[in-house]
Amino acid sequence: MDSWKLDAEHMVREQIMTRGVTWQPVLEAMASVPRHLFLEKPLDRSAWIDSPLPIGDDQTISQPYMVARMTELLAPEPGEAVLEIGTGSGYQTAVLAAIGARVTSMERIRSLADRAREKLAELGYSATVLWHDGREKPEELGVFSGVLVTAAVDELADWWSEVLLPGGRLVAPLRVASGSERLFRRIKEAEGVFVDSWHEYCRFVPLLKGRTDGRP
Ligand code: SAH
């Protein structure tokens, strides 16, 4: 067994299960995805710690627990189409792909989008990474069973709810009063019928406007 697999199993047990995540598909996926390979070399060995980490361009790979909890709230079934806004390192994308979701992911920083696309392909995860501002709807995008936003927002873009199929879920870190952020989930029961709920407090980098070649 590769030595990182022990680190991955330890991370799942100590950081994720202990905090109450019980959804088996995400626990298995996070034990199987090589998180250390989504970081830049000098940071490889700290990949498994209980923290977000820098990935370049002033952005971060999310804390493992946060990836697990958001994925649990989204609960994608194998074969379902999922849209991720904020590809970053591609780690969350890989976790969704490992569960069997068909992922389309958008990233506004070109260098990150390119790196994530290459990494996912190299590791055999099938996902589509677009260099795109996730606040704007691209033409001919299709519909999704899940939309996962991994950058903090003041409000949801209308089109994120519009592309959801009936039964679809949207999960996002929303800013609340006092400047903190909280995980928000919307379930689209039918056209125009939503069931909204609030979950854990969290901390994400902000969703920014426009695409860029390099630093934000
Ligand atoms: N899911 C990532 C963590 C993402 S951090 C991971 O697992 O590594 C949030 C990412 O959202 C950053 O890479 C940031 O550049 C990106 N982002 C910010 N605003 C955006 C926007 N408007 N459209 C697309 N991506 C955006």
Confidence of residue 108 (pLDDT cuts 50, 70, 90): very high
Work out whether the CA dihedral 207, 149, 215, 53 comes out positive or negative: positive
Q: For residue 72, how far is its CA from the centre of ligand 1 (angstroms)?
A: 19
Q: What are phi and psi of 23, to 5 degrees?
A: -70, 110
Proportion of the chain above pLDDT 70, given as a percent: 97
Q: What residues are paired with 212 via a beta bridge?
A: 109
CB 147 within 8 A of CB 164: yes
> pTM to 2 decimals?
0.97
pLDDT per position as a tens digit, 119-173: 999 999 999 999 999 999 999 899 999 999 999 999 999 999 999 999 999 999 9
Residues with CB under 6 A from ligand 1: 59-62, 85-86, 88-89, 91-92, 106-109, 112, 133-135, 150-151, 205, 207-208
Pocket perturbation via mutation, ligand 1, pick of 95, 107, 160 by most ligand atoms within 8 A of CB: 107
Q: Which helix (H) or strand (E) is 164 found in, with range?
A: strand 164-175
What does the buried/exposed string (b/e) look like for 170-203 if buried means 16 or more CB atoms within 10 Å of the residue's CB?
bbbbbbeeeeebebbbbbbeeeeeeeeeeeeebe
Domain chopping of the chain, boundaries: 52-202
Which residues are known catalytic residues?
Answer: 62
CATH number 3.40.50.10800 given to 52-202: no
pLDDT the model gives residue 216? 67
pLDDT at 57 over 90: no
Q: Which two tokens stand for residue 164?
A: 């959801």
Which residue, 130, 124, 103, is CA-closest to 33? 124
From atom 4 of ligand 1, which residue's Cα is the shortest distance away?
88
Using DSSP bridges, classify how beta strands 102-107 and 127-131 pair: parallel, antiparallel or unpaired.
Answer: parallel
How far, in Å, is the centroid of ligand 1 from the Cα of 82? 15
Distance 87 CA to ligand 1 centre (A): 5
Percent of the chain with pLDDT over 90: 89
Q: Where residue 215 falls among pLDDT bands split at 50, 70, 90?
A: low
| Calpha distance 114→59 (Å, rounded) | 15
Q: What is the mean pLDDT of residues 172-196?
A: 95
